Amino acid sequence: MVRSKCAFLYVLTILIALAPVASGQGLPKASPKSVGLSQERLNRITTLMQKHVDDGLLAGAVALVARDGKMAYLKSVGMQDKEKGVEMKPDAIFRIASMSKPITSVAVMMLYEEGRFRLSDPVSKYLPEFKAPKVLVVDSAADKKTSAEQLVPAKREITIRHLLTHTSGLTYHWDARVGAKYQEAGITHGLIQTDDLLADGIKKLAQLPLVHQPGEAWNYGLSTDVLGRLVEVVSGMSFDEFLRKRIFEPLRMNDTCFYLPDNKVSRLAAVYGPDPNGTLKRLGNGVLGEGAMRITVTYLYEGPKRYFSGGGGLCSTVSDYTRFCQMMLNGGELDGVRLLSRKTVELMTADHVGDLNPGSGFGLGFGVTRSLREAGELTSAGAYRWGGFWYTTFFIDPAEKLLGVCLVQLHPSGKATLNDKFEALAHQAIVN
C-alpha cells in the first residue's frame, strides 16, 4: 500500500510539472504584500492604463508585475478589438516586434554554450555571403560645402558579437542613407509579408553596404535577423523549429510563435493609432506607411508565412513573455528547465558598447542600465529591458528580483506615455 501510494504521488508530481500553464497565469500568484510590494501603489499602473483608454490614447493594455518569481499584479483594461466589441483579456496575443530580439539572442547564446562558435568569430565563417563587407562613407570636399558617398572596404569583418550588440553596421529601412536600397533589394524588416525565406533575405542584405565600420558605432538594425539565420545554419534546424523545440516548448510559452494558427487569430489584439487630429483609429488591413518603411498589421496570419524574422516577427502573450523574463531573472532556468548558465546571463546583461551608445548600455540583446545617474528614472543599476515597434515593453531588475511586462498595440505612439512610465511605476510599488 505504501509503495502504491508513493508511486501514485510520483506520477501525480510529474503530471503537474508537465501540465500546460493556464493563460494569464505564467507564474504562481502571490499577494503584493507577501513579495514586498504595495497593492495600493501597484494600482497606480491600472489608473494610468485606464486614463490612457479614457483619453483615447490607446484601445487597451495588459500589464504584469512579478517579484521573487511570483506574479503580484496582472491587469487588463480597455478593448482588444473596439469594432468587434471584444474586451481586453490577460490571454490576448500581441505582436511583440523587437521584443523578439532578446529571444533570438538567447537562442544564439544557447548554441554558443554548446561550443558551436566563439563570439569573436566572423559571421562569414558560417554565412559566407558576409565575406569582405563594404562601408558607405561620406567624403566631404575641402570647402565642406559639398560631399559625396563612396564605398570603402571594411577594416574588419562583422563578428557574432557585433551582431548581438548592434555594432555591425547594419541598419533598418528608415535610415536615410541605405533605406531605399534595402527596399529596392526586397529586404524585409519582418513587419510585412514577403515571399522570401530567411536565407534569401539575409543573402540580399549581405550584398548591401554597411553604414559604419563594424565595431565603431552603435546602430539599431537587422543584425538580429542575421542571427536568426546563423541559428539555422549552425543548428541545422529552421529558426522557427529551433525556437519552438529549444525555448518555447521547454518554457511552456504556448502562445509564442511567428505565425498564428487559425484558431488563435481571434485572440490577436487589433492595432490602433492616432489620426492627424489625435483621434484613435484602427489601422487598416492594407500596406501602411510610405517609402522604404512600409508595414502591415496582418503579417501574422495572412501571406506566405515563410520568413522568420528574429528581429521582429514574433507574437506572444503577457504570461508567455513573463516566463521568458523569469528564466533570465533566475539566471537561465525556470521550473527545472535550464536554457542558459548563470554566467552566460551575466555576460548577456553586462554593457558591451560603452561610449558607442552614450544614452544607455547595451548587452547581448538587451538595453542595460549602467548607472542611476545615466538612467535618470526609477530603476536599478544592472536592470535590463527592451521594447517593440507596436508599443510593447518589458524590464528585468535582478537587484530587486522584479520584472514587468506591458503590452499594447499602438502605432505611432502619439501622446501615450504608458511605456515610458511603466518601469518606474512598478519600482515605486516596492516597500520592502
- Burial class of residue 241 (count of CB atoms within 10 Å of its CB; 0-12, 13-18, 19+): middle
Name the percent of the chain lying above pLDDT 90. 88
Q: 144 pLDDT band (50/70/90 cuts)?
A: low
Assess whether pLDDT exceeds 50 at residue 43.
yes
> Would you state the pLDDT for residue 404?
98
Of the options 2.40.128.110, 3.20.20.140, 3.40.50.150, 3.40.710.10, the CATH number for the domain spanning 29-100+241-427? 3.40.710.10
Q: Provide the grid cell at 421.
A: 512610465
Q: 26 pLDDT band (50/70/90 cuts)?
A: confident
* Mean pLDDT across 350-375: 96
In this structure, are residues 361 and 383 in contact, taking their beta carbons and an 8 Å threshold? no
> Would you state the pLDDT for residue 25?
53
- Burial class of residue 369 (count of CB atoms within 10 Å of its CB; 0-12, 13-18, 19+): buried
Assess whether pLDDT exceeds 60 at residue 74.
yes
Q: What would the DSSP string read from start to end of 164-186?
A: HHT-SS---TT-TTTHHHHHHTT
Q: Of 48-57, 136-145, 224-233, where does mean pLDDT reach its minimum? A: 136-145
> Would you state the pLDDT for residue 274?
95
Q: Find the helix or strand (DSSP H, E) in which 395 lies.
A: strand 392-397
Q: Of 123-127, 147-151, 200-204, 355-359, where does mean pLDDT reach its minimum? A: 147-151
Q: 361 pLDDT band (50/70/90 cuts)?
A: very high
pLDDT digits (tens, 9 = 90+) for 80-115: 999 999 999 999 999 999 999 999 999 999 999 999
Q: Is the peptide bond before 128 cis (omega within 30 degrees of 0)?
A: no
> Would you state the pLDDT for residue 149?
85
* Mean pLDDT across 197-208: 97
Q: 20 pLDDT band (50/70/90 cuts)?
A: very low
> Would you state the pLDDT for residue 17?
40
Of the options 3.30.70.260, 3.40.710.10, 3.90.1150.10, 3.40.190.10, the CATH number for the domain spanning 105-236? 3.40.710.10
Q: What would the DSSP string read from start to end of 276-331?
A: TTS-EEE--SS-BSSTT--B-S-TTTSS------TTT--EE-HHHHHHHHHHHHTT
> Would you state the pLDDT for residue 145?
57
pLDDT digits (tens, 9 = 90+) for 257-309: 999 999 999 999 999 999 998 899 999 888 998 778 899 999 999 999 999 99
Assess whether pLDDT exceeds 90 at residue 139.
no
For residue 386, the SS3 value is: strand
> Would you state the pLDDT for residue 140?
56
> Would you state the pLDDT for residue 3?
46
Bridge partners of residue 393, in order along the sequence:
387, 406
Assess whether pLDDT exceeds 90 at residue 175.
yes
> Would you state the pLDDT for residue 16?
37
Assess whether pLDDT exceeds 50 at residue 8.
no
Mean pLDDT over each residue of the chain, to the nearest integer? 93
> Would you state the pLDDT for residue 11?
39
The segment(s) of the chain belonging to CATH 3.40.710.10 are 29-100+241-427, 105-236
- Please report where in the chains the cell 526609477 appears, as a residue: 378
Residues in the chain: 432
Assess whether pLDDT exceeds 80 at residue 6.
no
Q: Provide the grid cell at 314.
A: 514574433
- Give percent helix, percent strand, percent coil of the chain, each to the nearest 5: 35, 20, 45
